[in-house]
Structure 1
Amino acid sequence: MSRFSAPIAEQIWDMKYRLKDGSGRPLDASLEDSWRRVARDLASVEATPEVWEERFYTALEDFRFLPAGRILAGAGTGRQVTLFNCFVMGTIPDSMGGIFEMLKEAALTMQQGGGIGYDFSTIRPKGAVVHGVAADASGPLSFMDVWDAMCRTIMSAGSRRGAMMATMRCDHPDIEEFIAAKQDSARLRMFNLSVLVTDPFMEAVKAGGSWDLVFGGRVYRTLEARDLWNRIMKATYDYAEPGVIFIDRINTANNLRYAETIAATNPCGEQPLPPYGACLLGSINLARLVKAPFEAGSGIEAAELDELVRTAVRMMDNVVDASKFPLPQQAAEAVAKRRIGLGVTGLADALLMMGLRYGSDEAVAQTEAWMRAIARAAYLASVDLAREKGAFPLFDAEKYLASGTMQAMDADVREAVREHGIRNALLTSIAPTGTISLYAGNVSSGIEPVFAYAYRRKVLQPDGSRTEEEVVDYAVSLWRQKFGETPLPDHFVSAQTLAPMDHVKMQAAAQKWIDSSISKTINCPEDIGFEAFKDVYLAAWDLGCKGCTTYRPNAVTGSVLTVSEKAEAVPQAETGAEVIYLSEPLDRPEALEGQTYKLKWPVSEHAIYITVNDIVVGGRRRPFEVFINSKNMEHYAWTVALTRMISAVFRRGGDVSFVVEELKAVFDPRGGAWMGGRYVPSILAAIGDVIEEHLVAIGFIEGAGLGLKSDPKAGAAVAVAGGAKPKACPSCGAYELVMIEGCMTCRACGHSKCG
């Protein structure tokens, strides 16, 4: 019998985690082969590898312990890949040479698939004097544009890449520009943004005090703290970014505050890390541990949870020694502190199986109890490893025990750490787990509530046709097995129906026993008032959270999907004008309508003229061909090639808007240019902007940075809140992109922007 409880789980394994050779031929014949490969590789660093291989395999079996995707895909393959998910890069120097050295390091890290975080607060503000060159600084936002272009270029290679997080302190002079940066729909698409909020700032907000924006000891401006806070809140309310990170709270609680200062996180926010910090992730699947689901006395056996956590800690500690690293600084940081991030997934499903409503006082108490048990087991397991293999190199007992997290730890754990040391400086974190949760049978992800109990998914077949299959939440599937199609009980609630404060209470309950942080999205209804929305963030602060991320559906960011409890009842999304897909290119009519645009590239002596001609198909105007001309003969060969290639793509029909994104992603290592107050990374990117402008003008796409207006061939069988349509997945094309835990995630194929 198959180990997979749902077809989507097997598809995720085959696409993302199954080992294959260069031609795509499977080397893992079965899921058991994948588990064996991972277990054997992580046991290879042990003195008795054969003993630990069996224990590790048992932990992986039936999806009870879920190492993060990079470990599942990379361990035991012999490939030069990192098994770490999260990196924060080095501190960015305030110099041109230093900035571009950091850009190179970021490219090398992303090339191996790591998600990276950067603090841009160290770069002097826009307009500041640059001594020695008689110029003013362009500011951190301009360099973020360069980073964004680099990330687009790396991702265009087509293999799995990481996302980026950019942070900026709330007292940086350019903070207002940072807050508004992603209100331009085409800007910084490769970044998540978060403001580093300090304790003094929150005190000033509550007291109605003033706030200085400073850099290098100089006060640039003073404004009202509440005005700045309202700017952050309004941007998040309208555009879902930036997020908020309570950075002083993070540093105070950090077990390693005596050895490092944190100013950034990984892209999903669950790992605050120091310069060159690295962390790996893994999750205990609580949904698989519940005994007698939906019956009186159901629950998780303490002994089984304890044993599984101890085995998982040992496996993850071994990853530190088994992994490759993009940079030597990252390897040194990882070995010196041996940071791991053990968390959970399937929490909401486990609560449902025990008859508990997510967000209720009983569910909050049960969540805290599970997190405490996991934290205790993890810390005691790491103490045992320290006795066997040695403490992490930077361990200092008195300083370590003085941190905020360790002061709140149980007395017996503190005493064990004092006596024997500890192998891993930090041990717990809760990651998004979007893809591995699908792989484990569509269990609820991380500590999130169930997003949708059932939905229909379109599957592309080898012959080009599409079939539909039902994807059911793991707990709902168990309910159906036990009780058939009887209605779900009242305690079955979803992300869309919960009150925002229920989310906050659950995040705070988990955070109490998590020494790093938590990836959690607080879903807010579209009609929530602005004052009530702000209260969510203040509640997160008051309850001890280390950060806060919300998502409110609106016309700018789109809407999350809303799905009925029975997938069969979900109506089809409405579609607009027909999109024509062609098996053969169209013949060219004798006459076409078009427009010619003049592009003056600042670093070239001749202008480039771009003509886009259109054809009307099915009553709708669409691009048919492009001509690119210039008097500069250096441009001749590539402009002719580009003309022919783009025109050939346009004549095939379908959604050709990807051409724009590919052109805009091209980064010229010799440097781009400033055009219209915006940095354009290359002349090809500028041409992409012109073509995009034309596609918007003829109504082929909705706007800059947005996709095709409608695509019935890939339309998702879902109802959409407020009538807005979900976005198309860049991987599979299905209209299934939804916001889950701060990441745009495809419910059809598992693709996630955050990796």
Structure 2
Amino acid sequence: MKKGKINLTENARVVLEKRYLIKDENGKVIETPEELMERVARAVAKAESKYPGADPDKWAEKFYDIMAELKFLPNSPTLMNAGRELGQLSACFVLPVEDSMEGIFDSIKYAALIHKSGGGTGFSFSRLRPKGATVKSTGGVASGPISFMKVFNAATEAVKQGGTRRGANMGILRVDHPDILDFIRCKEDDKEITNFNISVAITDKFMEALKNDETYDLVDPHTKKVAGKLKAREVFDLIVDMAWKNGEPGIIFIDRINKYNPTPEVGEIESTNPCGEQPLLPFESCNLGSINLVKFVKKSGEKIEIDYEDLKDTVHKAVRFLDDVIDVNVYPLKEIEEMTLSNRKIGLGVMGFADMLIALGIPYNSDEALKIAEEIMSFIDKESKNASCELAKERGVFPNWEKSIYKEKGIKLRNATTTTIAPTGTISIIAGVSSGIEPVFALAFERHVLDNQRLVEIHPMLEQVLKERGLYSEELMEKILERGTLQGIEEVPEDIKRVFVTAHDISPEWHVKMQAAFQKYTDNAVSKTVNFPQNATREDVKKVYLLAYELGCKGVTIYRDRSREEQVLNKGAKIEKKVKEETTESQEEANMDDKIKPRPRPNVTYGSTEKVKIGCGNLYITVNSDENGICEVFTNLGRAGGCPSQSEATSRLISLALRAGIDVKAIVEQLKGIRCHSTLRQMATNKDIKVLSCPDAIGRALERSMGKTIVVNGNSDVSEADIKRYVDINNEELEKANKKKPNPGKNNSNGALCPECGHELEHEGGCVVCRSCGYSKCS
């Protein structure tokens, strides 16, 4: 197999090395991106040997080409695990939760096995009897769905997924369940049930009651009897209120989902995968992949258009690829294998849609963009069905075809579904394009490279346009970086502003319209986040929910900027300035004259600098004193990587506290023992690391400056036993430590940043993603 060098961005290579490429026992990368693509292509093409006349080597070449050209990429588990011992290639699973102690804990066990294999799980808790209901077998009372969700959450927290992917769940409860009000409020504290996204399953009866301002029935799932009534408007307002506060719950329209269930005789769909794009039957899984739309925008002279012939060819190859994945997959449970092979669902979607619109010169928030969305997705849906028909002729229809809607229609397909719009997260980073069907998040990013160098990266198409028009300058780049948008920048012409719009430039209604346009031609569902500005009202959220139902969406997820304690969207430095001004005003109004004030820093200080080995490289710690004692700390990372802003922020706060008279011993006590995921992982193979984290290293440096150093194993009081204990620490403790000590990242950000690299996180497709290092909360 010829393996020319794949054209990847530097960021894509970083993400591949960190998350996908094979490493040896010492953590050294021993695989190239080209070898990864070959490994995956060969492993998937082995399925071809099952079918007479097929040539595995030929198809391995074809599969390699569409991946290496970045025209198509499968979901992350396939890239990570194909051709390796684990062999689990699916991203999406749904498990049943039966109304019995045995059924509940079987589901927890099954979920643990799936999370360990690299998958995410969805559950409906709607079968569980409500809190306080009688349990005849024991004479006790039921604790209700919410209590068991917390058990599932704790189990997820404790499971490590093969070292590459973190457990993620979807929890769903029907709107007519008696415990629905508790469910809607269950994530009011965003530190609760942290490993779940939650959605309310809305019924058509509820929407009718809402329309008529009526009550609706609550039904006990165990007895099937009416257990009460609620005012639909009041329940809907509570859903809106909670979503406005922190983005959850989302909603799914469960009757609409089942209306389009391709195998209604097999069972009823009751849940989706963690990001909501894949409704599945209990014990069903789905394999996803995405077409990179940017690759099909061709320029012929002055004309720019979509190459539909090339797109058709790629769709057919991608459908065959995903069908082969079903055959070579190593399933975590026998029940999942049987259900998946019976329905053979695949989900072909897209990424780079926003970038494609930019290349075509079409604003995302325009009727023309909606038209392009429908044209593209209807074409992909039609050709994916044609490809599935061709496979059915070669290999036979999916086994449950007789129980499907396609029998009556006389359409013979290999796959019960063929299309899904998923959040593409890390695979869109590998492809170097915008995620899924989301708008561009930001037009400029700031990265820190080498020791103290700062690099501003701008969207490549914007950079090209600005240079062609003679508008490019470093000053303009700084403005774009600060704002995160072109809006309000006078130097940028209006025609450029119209095309280069970001998620927050687009009104929520346009987000919903775009989701609906893609849903019209998608078998499964569409994962999309409707972004709201921070000043959006509850009424704004309500309008979007109603519009999503009206336009035919199968569900909707919203996020209001800065509505969570762990911020996931950040428009730029101006917000921080506004918050700072508001805070200053309130402090002045409160007349806080008695606050502690640090003494001024003297012009001359004296001290020493030491080099300490940490998980990210070398940390240089300078501790200085004046006539009153230790007065300041400086830190600097000696090479690229790590979290320099975290150390700088820690040092500044320490220096402020020292000059305000806080006892050094108290500061040391707070810092020592703080653990860092990266440093702990490196301890096993690097005996030069004698500290637990950057803050731990700073605390020990301060302690040594006080003359109280206890030296063990060279230069620290961390013993070999300590190192072994922390290397062997279980995953649950590591996750908790990581959550408690997030990396603050960029200084000009006002919200939560990636816990692994410090760059700002994006909220897209119902998930949280870092486009710098590939971290994803949902995987």
Q: Into which bin does the TM-score normalised by the smaller protein fall? A: 0.7 to 0.9
On the 8 A contact 1:110/1:162 being kept in 2, the answer is: yes
Tell me which moved more, 110-119 or 149-158: 149-158
Q: Which residue of 2 aligns with 1:318?
A: 324
Q: Which residue of 1 aligns with 2:277?
A: 270
Q: Which residue of 1 aligns with 2:303?
A: 297
Partner amino acid for 2:553? Answer: C
- Are residue 754 (structure 1) and residue 759 (structure 2) matched? no
Mapped to 2, the partners of 1:743 and 1:581 lie a distance apart of: 41
Mapped to 1, the partners of 2:420 and 2:64 lie a distance apart of: 23
From 200, 208, 219, give the equivalent of 1:195.
Answer: 200
Mapped to 1, the partners of 2:388 and 2:470 lie a distance apart of: 44
Q: Which residue of 2 aligns with 1:739?
A: 763
Gaps of 5+ in 1: 403-413, 588-613, 629-644, 656-661, 669-680, 693-700
- Are residue 508 (structure 1) and residue 516 (structure 2) matched? yes
Count, aligned residues: 639
Gaps of 5+ in 2: 49-53, 473-491, 584-596, 599-608, 614-620, 624-653, 674-689, 701-724
Shift of 1:747: 3.2
TM-score (norm 2): 0.75
Q: Which residue of 1 aligns with 2:20?
A: 17
SS of the aligned residue for 2:499 comes to coil
Partner amino acid for 1:259? Answer: V
Q: Which residue of 2 aligns with 1:251?
A: 258
- Are residue 473 (structure 1) and residue 463 (structure 2) matched? no
Distance 1:121 1:131, change over 3 A: same
Mapped to 2, the partners of 1:168 and 1:323 lie a distance apart of: 31
Distance 1:561 1:94, change over 3 A: closer
SS of the aligned residue for 2:669 comes to strand
Shift of 1:222: 1.2
SS of the aligned residue for 2:217 comes to strand
Q: Which residue of 2 aligns with 1:456?
A: 446
- Are residue 494 (structure 1) and residue 502 (structure 2) matched? yes
Write the deviation string for residues 417-467 of structure 1: whole angstroms up to 9, x where unpaired.
x26x110110100111011111112x11100111111111235x6xxx464
Q: Which residue of 1 aligns with 2:134?
A: 129
SS of the aligned residue for 1:298 comes to strand
Partner amino acid for 2:419? Answer: T
Shift of 1:586: 13
Q: For residues 90-101 of structure 1, what are the structure 2 equivalents within 5 Å?
A: 91-101=96-106
Distance 1:87 1:147, change over 3 A: same
Tell me which moved more, 32-41 or 363-372: 32-41
Output the aligned Cα RMSD: 3.8
- Are residue 429 (structure 1) and residue 420 (structure 2) matched? yes
Partner amino acid for 2:504? Answer: Q
On the 8 A contact 1:623/1:650 being kept in 2, the answer is: no
On the 8 A contact 2:277/2:420 being kept in 1, the answer is: yes
On the 8 A contact 2:117/2:161 being kept in 1, the answer is: no
SS of the aligned residue for 1:244 comes to strand
Distance 1:527 1:544, change over 3 A: same
Q: For residues 343-422 of structure 1, what are the structure 2 equivalents within 5 Å?
A: 343-396=349-402, 399-400=405-406, 418=410, 421-422=412-413
Shift of 1:60: 1.3
Q: Which residue of 2 aligns with 1:624?
A: 669
SS of the aligned residue for 1:502 comes to helix
On the 8 A contact 1:82/1:323 being kept in 2, the answer is: yes
TM-score (norm 1): 0.78
Distance 1:446 1:717, change over 3 A: farther
Partner amino acid for 2:446? Answer: R
Q: Which residue of 1 aligns with 2:346?
A: 340
SS of the aligned residue for 2:448 comes to strand
Mapped to 2, the partners of 1:38 and 1:62 lie a distance apart of: 14
Shift of 1:49: 1.0
Distance 1:532 1:559, change over 3 A: same
Shift of 1:530: 1.6
SS of the aligned residue for 1:32 comes to helix
Distance 1:531 1:381, change over 3 A: same
Shift of 1:128: 0.8
SS of the aligned residue for 2:455 comes to strand
Partner amino acid for 2:526? Answer: I
From 61, 67, 74, give the equivalent of 1:54.
Answer: 61
Tell me which moved more, 13-22 or 36-45: 13-22
Shift of 1:21: 2.9
From 170, 177, 197, give the equivalent of 1:172.
Answer: 177
Shift of 1:251: 0.5
* % same residue: 38
Distance 1:366 1:717, change over 3 A: farther
Tell me which moved more, 539-548 or 521-530: 521-530
Q: Which residue of 2 aligns with 1:543?
A: 551
Distance 1:345 1:135, change over 3 A: same
Partner amino acid for 1:279? Answer: C
From 22, 44, 47, give the equivalent of 2:46.
Answer: 44
Q: Which residue of 2 aligns with 1:715?
A: 745
Q: Which residue of 2 aligns with 1:7?
A: 10
SS of the aligned residue for 1:45 comes to helix
Write the deviation string for residues 203-249 of structure 1: whole angstroms up to 9, x where unpaired.
11111110122212233221111111111111001111000000100
Shift of 1:653: 4.6
Distance 1:654 1:203, change over 3 A: farther
Q: Which residue of 2 aligns with 1:635?
A: none
